[in-house]
A and B are shown apart, each in its own frame.
Chain A
Amino acid sequence: MTQFLQYTLQGLAAGGFYALAALGLAVIFGVLGVVNFSHGACYMLGAMISALLLEHFSLGFWPALVIVPVIMFFVGVLVERLLVQWLLRLDPLYNFLLTFGLTLLTVDIMKRQFGVSSLKYEVPAGLGGRISLGSVDLSIYQLFAAAFAVVICLLVWVGLTKTRVGMIVRAATEDAERSRALGINVARWVTPVFGFGIALAGLAGVLAAPYRAINADMGSNFIIILFAIVVIGGLGSILGAVVAGFLVGLVEAYGQGYYGQLSQVLIFVLMAAVVLVRPAGLFGREEAA
Chain B
Amino acid sequence: MSDTLLRVEDLSAFYGEAQVLRNVSLDVAHGEVVTLVGRNGAGKTTLLRSIMGLHKGTRGVVALDGQSLDGKSADKRARLGLGWVPDNRGIYATLSVSENLSLPPVVDKSAAWSLDRIYEQFPVLHERRDFPGTKLSGGEQQMLAMARPLRAGSRLLLLDEPSEGLAPVIVNQIGQIIRDIKAQGVAVLLVEQNVKFASTVADRHNLLAQGEVVASLDNDEFHSRTTELLEHLGM
Interface residues of A (CB under 8 A from B): 167-168, 170-171, 173-175, 177-187, 238, 285, 288
Determine the distance from Cα of A285 to Cα of B134 in the docked complex, in whole angstroms: 11
Least CB separation from A30: chain B residue: B94
Tell me, yes or no, whether B60 is within 8 Å of chain A by CB: no
Can you show 14 pairs from A to B with CB atoms below 8 A apart? A167-B103, A174-B93, A178-B86, A180-B78, A181-B54, A181-B74, A182-B75, A182-B104, A182-B148, A183-B79, A183-B152, A184-B103, A184-B104, A285-B93
Determine the distance from Cα of A148 to Cα of B50 in the docked complex, in whole angstroms: 48
A167-B99, A177-B54 in contact; A182/B84 too (CB < 8 A)?
Answer: yes
Contacts of B15 in A (CB 8 A): none
Determine the distance from Cα of A174 to Cα of B88 in the docked complex, in whole angstroms: 14
B75 pairs with A167, CB closer than 8 A: no
Tell me, yes or no, whether B95 is within 8 Å of chain A by CB: yes
Tell me, yes or no, whether B90 is within 8 Å of chain A by CB: yes
Contacts of A171 in B (CB 8 A): 92, 94-95, 103
A181 pairs with B86, CB closer than 8 A: yes
A170-B95, A182-B78, A182-B148 in contact; A175/B90 too (CB < 8 A)?
Answer: yes
Number of B interface residues at 8 Å Cβ cutoff, please give it: 25
Contacts of B94 in A (CB 8 A): 170-171, 173-174, 238
Contacts of B52 in A (CB 8 A): 181
B78 pairs with A183, CB closer than 8 A: yes
**Residues B140-177 near A (CB distance < 8 A):** 148-149, 152
Tell me the number of A-to-B contacts counted with CB atoms below 8 Å. 68
Determine the distance from Cα of A286 to Cα of B86 in the docked complex, in whole angstroms: 18
Q: Report B53-96 CB contacts with A as 1/0, cut-off 8 Å.
A: 11000000000000000000111001100001010101011110
Contacts of B104 in A (CB 8 A): 182-184
- Tell me what chain A mostly uses at the interface: helix, strand, loop, or mixed: helix
B88 CB contact (under 8 Å) in A167, A187, A288: A288
- Tell me what chain B mostly uses at the interface: helix, strand, loop, or mixed: loop
Determine the distance from Cα of A27 to Cα of B96 in the docked complex, in whole angstroms: 19
Contacts of A178 in B (CB 8 A): 84, 86, 90
Tell me, yes or no, whether B105 is within 8 Å of chain A by CB: yes
Least CB separation from B90: chain A residue: A178
B99 pairs with A184, CB closer than 8 A: no
Determine the distance from Cα of A41 to Cα of B148 in the docked complex, in whole angstroms: 42
B84 CB contact (under 8 Å) in A173, A181, A187: A181
Determine the distance from Cα of A151 to Cα of B104 in the docked complex, in whole angstroms: 31
Tell me, yes or no, whether B97 is within 8 Å of chain A by CB: no
Interface residues of B (CB under 8 A from A): 52-54, 73-75, 78-79, 84, 86, 88, 90, 92-95, 99, 102-105, 107, 148-149, 152
Contacts of B99 in A (CB 8 A): 167
Determine the distance from Cα of A194 to Cα of B148 in the docked complex, in whole angstroms: 28
Q: What's the nearest-Cβ distance from chain B to residue A259, in Å? A: 36
Contacts of B79 in A (CB 8 A): 183
Contacts of B149 in A (CB 8 A): 182
Determine the distance from Cα of A181 to Cα of B93 in the docked complex, in whole angstroms: 17
B74 pairs with A180, CB closer than 8 A: yes
A183-B75, A184-B104, A185-B75 in contact; A170/B54 too (CB < 8 A)?
Answer: no
Contacts of A187 in B (CB 8 A): 73, 75
What 8 A-B pairs have minimum CB-CB distances, sorted nearest first?
A183-B78, A182-B104, A181-B84, A180-B74, A180-B75, A181-B74, A183-B104, A183-B79
Q: What's the nearest-Cβ distance from chain A to residue B91, in Å? A: 10
Contacts of B78 in A (CB 8 A): 180-184
Q: What's the nearest-Cβ distance from chain B to residue A212, in Å? A: 33
Contacts of B107 in A (CB 8 A): 183
Contacts of B92 in A (CB 8 A): 170-171, 174-175
Q: What's the nearest-Cβ distance from chain A to residue B57, in Å? A: 13
Determine the distance from Cα of A177 to Cα of B95 in the docked complex, in whole angstroms: 16
